[in-house]
Amino acid sequence: MRTAGVYPNHFTFSAILPACASTSILVHGQQMHCLISKHGYEGYVFVGSALVDMYAKCHDMGLAEKVFVALPERNIVSWNSMIVGCLLNSFHVKALFLFREVRREDLFSPNQVSFSTVLSASANIGALEFGKQVHGVVVKQGLLTLSYVKNSLMDMYFKCGLFDEGALLFNSLGIENRDVIAWNVMSMGCVYNENFEEAYNYLWVMKRAGISPDEASYSTALHASAHLAALDQGTLIHNQTIKSGFSTNTCIASSLITMYAKCGSLDDACRVFEEIDNPNVVCWTALIAACQQHGNGNHVIKLFEKMLADGLKPHYITFVCVISACSHTGRVEEGHAYFNSMEKVHGIIPGHEHYACMVDLLGRSGQLDEARKFIAQMPIKPNASVWGALLGACAKYGNLEMGSEVAGRLFELEPDNPGNYILLANMYAHKGKLREADHVRRLMGINRVRKEPGCSWIDVKNKSFVFTVHDKLHARTDEIYEMLKKVKELVTNKGYVPQTQFAVNSAEELKEESLWYHSEKIALAFGLLALPAGAPIRIKKNLRTCGDCHTVMKFASEIWKREIIVRDVNRFHHFRNGLCSCRDYW
């Protein structure tokens, strides 16, 4: 660090500390701190501010605060180092508190860094009223013209659900003043408020305005395409990333893997992964999640073991995918082993998602009592996802006694979730307890809980066609119902037997007939009519597909010799040659 006779001064340390912060290697920063103390520069405001920044970026806010409190003099840089540090380490409430303290100081005022950071903290915890107050101060201090501040204001309003307010700020910028960050914030605002089509359209509008998209632009557009399962749009965006030189960007690569997977094209997702030179843990997790969503549990385990062998450290979401894959393939012992390794081997404390996956693992294998004991021994309070996994298992195995108790807990935790009422009502109906089933449905009415109408959609020639139960609004309705008759006849000849338990809301004599008016069957019939012979039929559904439709899809894939891909609310089902990728374990 120094040659003979030449000693570092406080300017030297102020310049070196940011390098320690950028590498996030705490031990290097601590060595610098020792040298600073030795030379007596700890009380210099710029050195102290740099120390606070270094400790914050190395994720040790305790030491950062200790240095900050000990500073004999503070300036706005010192305060900003602490506020930014709190944001980086998710101490959002603390960031808001520190901002208030800055406002009380008479010697200086918050600057654009202070405002931008505290607005981001407000956005992350949904502190709308505080954010509005900050907006007022921004206007008073004449900082609204600064794009750095205005972008943070837009983000705050979008994340707090006030889309119109955020869009108004964006529109007030004027095209010539919109940088790539402003466009990205606007696009992400659309995603937060589920305007997915508008979100990816902003990518093309941005390009027409002469702004070159960055990795955040492409990742957001791919994220929006994935939500809509808009494969054609996602493919166009993929082409643009290649033309723009982002083909080796790991952030975009992971977004591409997720997009292709959620659009039903697992082969393309795998192809993207194979083209990455040095995939990081995010890319590995994206592919593991893709395989898990598509019911390829065996491949999930192989990928996970390969990732570990390559020396990569799995993170929180990786284990959610791996344990879920074990659950959907009946790997009870392996699931237990992976769960136990989280804290012991990898230092990751299990969260509600992992406990829910474990309950699902035990429940799917029929070990309901073990699942109940597992919940009782949880070190954290079980939430709705944990109890929901157990209720699903109770419904599968017809354990009405345990199911009614679990449903009662769920009614308290999430009284507005219609799925819990419907599962319990169906359990009563399957047991012949129609009066109790009706009581549960009346309870839904009393609590003003509405079941989301089931619908399925299918894309033909870049256009989406949506179908509901008993749908007769399509221009080709007569042809669709003729095709449904043909499907019914052919699958019956193959050995199909109606599973009338999935028509619980119909009169007994109409149950078999009503099964044939489910939205995914109507979408299948339309796909057989409208898509070229041999082309895959991709159907999306907003709810879980029923067992009877699952059986019909298997028969249809064999009869018409084509792949049928159904994406429901939980996962993908790939039907080929009379078999499903889930192996009927779903």
- Torsion angle, alpha carbons of 144, 146, 147, 152, to 10: -60
Confidence of residue 285 (pLDDT cuts 50, 70, 90): very high
Least confident span in 3-7, 77-81, 268-272, 492-496: 3-7
Mean pLDDT, residues 412-422: 93
C-alpha distances out from residue 102 to 56, 75, 95, 320, Å: 18, 10, 11, 41
Sign for the pseudo-dihedral over CA of 297, 302, 307, 309: positive
Domains of the chain: which residue ranges?
178-278, 279-350, 356-364+372-451, 456-580
- Written as six digits, the tokens of 349 are 């404390």
Mean pLDDT, residues 200-206: 94
pLDDT at 15: 52
Residue with tokens 């107050």, as numbered in its chain: 133
Q: What is residue 580's three-state secondary structure?
A: strand
Q: Do domains 178-278 and 356-364+372-451 have the same CATH topology?
A: yes
Residue with tokens 């557009």, as numbered in its chain: 221
Please say if the pLDDT value at position 52 is more than 80. Answer: yes
> Which residue in 351, 364, 430, 412 sits closest to 391, CA to CA?
364
pLDDT at 3: 46
Confidence of residue 4 (pLDDT cuts 50, 70, 90): very low
pLDDT at 26: 55
Rounded to 5°, the CA angle 288-542-476 comes to 120
pLDDT at 490: 96
Please name every residue paired with 465 in a beta bridge, in sequence order, or none if there are none.
458
Q: Is 273 within 8 Å of 283 (Cβ atoms)? A: yes
| Separation between Cα atoms, residue 90 and residue 451, nearest integer Å | 36
Residue with tokens 């074990």, as numbered in its chain: 326
| Separation between Cα atoms, residue 404 and residue 436, nearest integer Å | 11
pLDDT at 305: 97
Please say if the pLDDT value at position 27 is more than 80. Answer: no
| Separation between Cα atoms, residue 244 and residue 219, nearest integer Å | 13
pLDDT at 103: 86
Which amino acid would we find at residue 368? L
pLDDT at 57: 85
Burial class from Cβ neighbours inside 10 Å (0-12, 13-18, 19+) for residue 351 reads: middle
Say how many C-beta atoms besides its own lie within 10 A of residue 178's C-beta: 19
Confidence of residue 341 (pLDDT cuts 50, 70, 90): very high
Mean per-residue pLDDT over the chain, rounded? 89
* pLDDT above 90: percentage of residues in the chain: 71
pLDDT at 6: 43
Q: What is residue 535's three-state secondary structure?
A: coil
Q: Is 467 within 8 Å of 519 (Cβ atoms)? A: yes
Please say if the pLDDT value at position 509 is more than 60. Answer: no
pLDDT at 2: 47
* Three-state helix/strand/coil letters over 20-86: HHHHCCHHHHHHHHHHHHHHCCCCCHHHHHHHHHHHHHCCCHHHHHHHHHHCCCCCHHHHHHHHHHH
pLDDT at 1: 46
* Three-state helix/strand/coil letters over 424-444: HHHHHHHCCCHHHHHHHHHHH
Least confident span in 57-66, 480-489, 514-523: 57-66
Please say if the pLDDT value at position 532 is more than 90. Answer: yes
pLDDT at 133: 95
Helices within 141-195 (DSSP H only): 147-159, 163-173, 180-192
Q: Is 322 within 8 Å of 301 (Cβ atoms)? A: yes
Mean pLDDT, residues 117-126: 95
> Which residue in 190, 113, 196 sits closest to 158, CA to CA?
190
* CATH 1.25.40.10 correct for 356-364+372-451: yes
- Written as six digits, the tokens of 453 are 């109408």
Spatial CB neighbours of 536, under 8 Å, sequence gap ≥ 6: 264, 562, 563, 564, 565
pLDDT at 147: 87
Helices and strands: H and E segment counts in the chain: 30, 6
Please say if the pLDDT value at position 489 is more than 90. Answer: yes
Tell me the per-residue pLDDT of 552-562, one tens digit each, with 9 for 90 and over: 999 999 999 99
Say how many C-beta atoms besides its own lie within 10 A of residue 124's C-beta: 15
510 DSSP 8-state letter: G
pTM exceeds 0.85, yes or no: no
Mean pLDDT, residues 194-216: 94
Q: Is 519 within 8 Å of 453 (Cβ atoms)? A: no
Edge-to-edge strand ranges of the sheet holding 579-580:
463-468, 455-460, 537-541, 564-567, 572-576, 579-580
| Separation between Cα atoms, residue 522 and residue 483, nearest integer Å | 9
Tell me the per-residue pLDDT of 427-455, one tens digit each, with 9 for 90 and over: 998 898 989 999 999 999 888 888 888 89
Strand 579-580 and strand 572-576: the pairing is antiparallel
Tell me the per-residue pLDDT of 229-264, one tens digit each, with 9 for 90 and over: 888 899 999 999 999 999 889 999 999 999 999 998
Q: The domain 178-278: what is its CATH number? A: 1.25.40
| Separation between Cα atoms, residue 460 and residue 457, nearest integer Å | 10
